[in-house]
């Protein structure tokens, strides 16, 4: 310690520079189409693959970027996982690819990332589409899903059908199981592995249910699309949305939470009409 103090003393009167090193999150993405950039962000336990079919539709009018958020899809895993970080991941992605005021669509968790980004960086978003999520805190409600995923022992797993059978003890809906098991893949050694970082999701699941991280408002055009049978909306949520997103409109489609998957035609028509409005 004495040597360290002596060295520091020798720097008195000289300029001292301190450098902080931050690891950039190189997000995996798929690009298609041409025109104004459009970024699409998936929800919790999803990936860019979930939007592949709709991307073909949007790519007829825009340059589409399907992005895997951290700890999902083929993007890197990190022990840290919250909306502050995902907002900065998105900023870095936009800067890295030199995108000028892109359009942004976000579903569920992706919608929370998009909302936080629009509030913190309002001049960097030209139009915002938020799918079945509200700028408020939600109680943890994915426990049974996480329990089901943890019940699948990858070391002894022999097939996807076995994984589905194990998961069915915790998740009864076949379509939800199919969605979740898209995260299961075989490594080059032939073993099963998860693309999602379950440990990080477990550790930070309450933060993923958190309300808005950044304070402020977004006055740009915003479209909130909700499912009529979704439980993510409650009476009074429209007032909460309008208080933060002062130029927002709300559209309801006859779906549950996975609006874009349950009625892709109505969803794409609704979104394209909004995005193409002068």
- The number of CA neighbours under 13 Å toward the Cβ of 170 is 18
Contact 201, 226 (CB under 8 A): no
Q: Of the residues 48, 75, 108, 230, which is catalytic? A: 108
Please state, as a whole number, how many other Cβ atoms lie within 10 Å of the Cβ of residue 262. 17
CB burial string 157-189: b at 16+ within 10 A, e below: eeeeeebbebbeebbeeeebbebbbbbbeeeee
Is residue 238 within 8 A of residue 264, CB to CB? The reply is no
**108 catalytically annotated:** yes
Which residues, other chains included, contact 149 with Cβ-Cβ below 8 Å and sequence gap of 6+? 167, 180, 194, 198
Query: What's the CA gap between 83 and 100, in Å, rounded?
Result: 22
Name the pairing type of β-strands 184-186 and 127-131. Answer: unpaired
CA-based nearest residue to 130, from 259, 229, 2, 23 = 259
Q: DSSP E strands: which ranges in the chain?
A: 29-32, 37-41, 63-67, 103-107, 127-131, 184-186, 192-194, 222-227, 248-253
Among candidate residues 72, 170, 204, 257, the one labeled active-site is 257
- Residues acting as catalytic residues: 108, 257
């Amino acid at each position: 310690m004495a040597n360290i103090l002596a060295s520091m003393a020798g720097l008195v009167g000289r300029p001292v520079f301190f450098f902080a090193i931050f690891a950039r999150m190189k997000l995996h993405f798929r690009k298609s189409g041409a025109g104004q950039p459009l970024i699409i962000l998936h929800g919790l336990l999803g990936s860019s693959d979930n939007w592949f079919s709709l991307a073909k539709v949007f790519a007829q009018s825009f340059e589409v970027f399907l992005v895997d958020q951290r700890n999902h899809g083929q993007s890197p895993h990190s022990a840290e996982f919250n909306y502050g970080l995902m907002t900065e991941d998105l900023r870095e992605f936009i800067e890295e690819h030199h995108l000028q005021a892109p359009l942004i669509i976000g579903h569920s968790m992706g919608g929370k990332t998009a909302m936080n980004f629009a509030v913190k960086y309002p001049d960097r978003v030209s139009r915002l589409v938020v799918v079945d999520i509200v700028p408020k805190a939600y109680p943890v409600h994915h426990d049974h899903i996480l329990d089901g995923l943890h019940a699948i022992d990858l070391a002894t797993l022999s097939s996807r059908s076995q994984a589905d059978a194990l998961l069915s003890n915790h998740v009864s809906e076949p379509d939800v199981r199919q969605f979740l098991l898209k995260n299961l893949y075989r490594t080059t050694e032939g073993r099963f592995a998860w693309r999602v970082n379950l440990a990080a999701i477990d550790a930070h699941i309450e933060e993923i249910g958190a309300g808005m991280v950044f304070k402020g408002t977004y006055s740009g055009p915003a479209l909130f699309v909700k499912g009529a049978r979704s439980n993510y909306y409650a009476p009074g949520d429209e007032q909460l949305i309008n208080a933060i997103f002062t130029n927002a409109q709300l559209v309801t489609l006859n779906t549950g939470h996975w609006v874009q998957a349950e009625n892709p035609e109505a969803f794409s028509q609704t979104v394209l009409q909004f995005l193409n409005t002068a």
